[in-house]
Amino acid sequence: MMTEHPQRRTTRQRTAIGEFLAHAGDFRTAQQIHEQLRMGGDRVGLATVYRTLQSMAEGGEVDTVRTADGESAYRRCTTSGHHHHLVCRSCGRTEEIMAKAVEAWAATIAAQHGFTDVTHDVELYGLCARCGATSTR
């Protein structure tokens, strides 16, 4: 299959981004990461943040989602395999979801319609317990 990562050098910038993601609990956009690294004193170029996140995503080191307004957000998940997310629309808190049932459903539906090589996109959005209570006004 030849899917070896050629050779990824461990640079100061790549390390900084990796550690940032390790501590941030929820999804962050490239712009947010860039700004926060700057504020933290790390000198990292915006282009580098984009490039690094992209390569991390390819390598499966981070997960990606699209925000409502189309921006890409990244997160280092603790679950290693394929999974989905339950994201708080208000504070961003994220729960990782594994659902064999959904995987099976997707495969079945696809087969019924004659589709092959199927992938899926499944994300849940809502208000977490804390935010839901607050917004009760």
Q: Which is nearer to its own copies, 8 or 91 (CB)?
A: 91
Q: Which helix (H) or strand (E) holds 99?
A: none
Does 71 interact with DNA (rule: CB under 7 A)? yes
Give which of its own copies, DNA, Zn ion, none residue 116 binds (C-beta under 5 to 8 Å, depending on kind). Answer: its own copies
Q: What is the DSSP string of 5-41?
A: -------HHHHHHHHHHHH--S-EEHHHHHHHHHHTT
Q: Which residues contact 91 (CB under 8 A, 6 or more apart)?
A: 26, 128, 130, 131
Q: Which residues bind Zn ion (CB under 5 A)?
A: 88, 90-91, 93, 103, 128, 131
Q: Which residues bind its own copies (CB under 8 A)?
A: 66, 70, 72, 86, 88-89, 95, 97, 99, 101-102, 105-106, 109-110, 113-129, 132
